[in-house]
Every structure is written in C-alpha cells, then in structure tokens.
Copies of this chain bind each other. A is one copy, B any other.
C-alpha cells in the first residue's frame, strides 16, 4: 500500500478516523482491523487509505473515496457494521469520525518525479 496514498485530483472525499484503543482484546482487534482494511480496498469508489498507530494506542486512519455515496455504502456494509459494534463495545476508549471533501492536494515525492 502506498504511503502517502496515490489519490487522484480533487475533489474527492476523505474519512478521518481518529481513535484511542482500550487495552482489551489486542488480537481480536488486530484481526478485525486488518480485515476491514482489506475489505475497504474492495469497495466501489475506494481510492486509497493511510493508517498510522502509535504504541500508546492512538491511531489515525484516513480512507479516500470518490463520492459521498461510496462513503455511505461502506459505512453501511454488513461486515463493517459488526466491526463497528466491536469497536464501541470493547476496542475503543474514544473515537471520532469526520467525513470531509478534499478540495486541494499538494505533494512532495522527489523519487516519484523521475
């Protein structure tokens, strides 16, 4: 997976998911998080994803989508819904999910310019 993600020209959509983990069920969380990343990449309208987690349990995952309809469809996906419930019941102490319209995009990637 490219990091930063290679997204197209704006406009497109970004879902910024900021979370703090509980210490609970590290293995179940890891399996589900990996599955959700994999499943997201298969959705219609998926453009890319960037995910960074620190040792203290703080994480930011930004996924990119072609339209609000694609964002909503992924939010309602049945397997994703089950994972969301797991997030609220055990894995996350807190999270915030922001749906955004990307309006401008600058990049610096010297090795990709050639």
Contacts and interface: CB of A to CB of B under 8 A. Distances in A.
A38 interface: no
Interface in A49-80: 50, 52-55, 58-60, 62
Given A4-B19, A5-B18, A109 B97 contact: no
Stoichiometry, as copies per complex, reads: 2
B105 A4 contact: no
A110 B109 CA distance: 40
Contacts of A16: 14, 16, 62, 100, 102
Nearest to A106: B97
A37 to B, nearest CB: 14
A111 interface: yes
B96 A4 contact: yes
A14 B14 CA distance: 10
A102 B105 contact: no
